[in-house]
Amino acid sequence: MLKVEKVHKKFQARPVLQEVSLTVGPEIRVIIGLNGGGKSTLLKIIAGIVAADAGRVWIGERDVTGFSSEDREVGYVPQHPALFRHLTVRENIRYGLKNGRGSAAMVDRVIALLALAEVLEKKPEVLSGGFQSRVSLARALASGPKVMLLDEPLSDLDLAIKEALLPEFKRVLKALALPVLYVTHDPWEAGLVGETFSVLAQGNLFQIESAAEAFEIMKKNGFGSLPAVR
């Protein structure tokens, strides 16, 4: 269980998040919002990388609000994930075990789930973008996190690769039965990966029934330019 309660955040007096609350069970919750809307800030607050001005974060049964990032047991794939170029795929994944969390069994499991066995001794630069994204996900999962946070993890990929990879990511995340927050600005992508959906607009989170509904909420809340409908 992931719970965020009344989180506020301003940057230079400009409010980015205003009393944002949400509860995520073992499901893939997508947060859809336009560029600059505060999506990455919300994930960084949950991951313990950015401090909120007010509000609390629970992971499992623990109130982790004052905890460092390392102590939160969160798996985080940042917006433009960078793999270590000088390390092999295997070493990149094992890097996720830092702080003594996770296990060899968990590493083996994510390697199998993401079909990475064939490329373990390769350097990331010889892999396709799709495979690099799988390695980034595997690295974040290796420590056996209690919650997964994915910040537009496929934004650097071509559409066709994304379309193939999204169901794959969904299958892997479901197999691990974790609360997942998946952030995107794209309702099409949201529909392919998500099970439940929220919109982040003008600093507030709105619960919606489907990814398609995201357009309506975004319009109502006064957003001028919307992502193109596919």
Ligand X SMILES: Nc1ncnc2c1ncn2[C@@H]1O[C@H](COP(=O)(O)OP(=O)(O)OP(=O)(O)O)[C@@H](O)[C@H]1O
3-state class of 183 per DSSP?
A: strand
Q: From the CB of 126, what's the least distance to Mg ion, in Å?
A: 28
Rank residues 37 and 187 by Cβ distance to ligand X and give the closer one: 37
Q: Which residues bind ligand X (CB under 6 A)?
A: 11, 16, 33, 35-41, 79, 185
Picked from Mg ion, ligand X, none, the partner binding residue 37 (CB below 5 to 8 A depending on kind) is ligand X
* Contact in structure between 83 and 135 (CB atoms under 8 Å): yes
Q: Which of 40, 132, 136, 184 binds Mg ion (CB under 5 A)?
A: 40
Please state the closest distance from residue 136 (CB atom) to ligand X, in A.
Answer: 16
Q: Which residues of 28-62 are buried (b: 16+ CB within 10 A; e: fewer)?
A: bbbbbbbeebbbbbbbbbbbbbbebeebebbbeee
Cα–Cα separations (whole angstroms), residue 173 to 36, 47, 116, 122, 123: 26, 18, 16, 24, 25
**Nearest Cα to Cα of residue 75 among 147, 6, 162, 183:** 147
Q: From its phi and psi, is residue 73 left (phi > 0), alpha (psi between -120 and 50) or beta?
A: left
Mask of contacts with Mg ion, 79-108, x by CB under 5 A?
A: x-----------------------------
203: CB partners within 8 A, 6+ apart: 15, 16, 17, 18, 20, 38
Give the residue with the Cβ less far from Mg ion, 44 or 146.
44
Task: Decide whether 32 or 192 has the Cβ nearer to ligand X.
Answer: 32
**Segment near Mg ion (CB under 5 A); pick from 40-48, 57-65, 94-102, 142-150:** 40-48
Q: Is the CB of 54 or the CB of 175 nearer to ligand X? A: 54
Determine, following the binding rule CB under 5 A, whether residue 198 of this chain makes contact with Mg ion.
no
| Residue 184 binds to Mg ion (criterion: CB under 5 A) | no
41 lies in the binding site for Mg ion (CB under 5 A): no
- Residue with Cβ nearer ligand X (79 or 202): 79
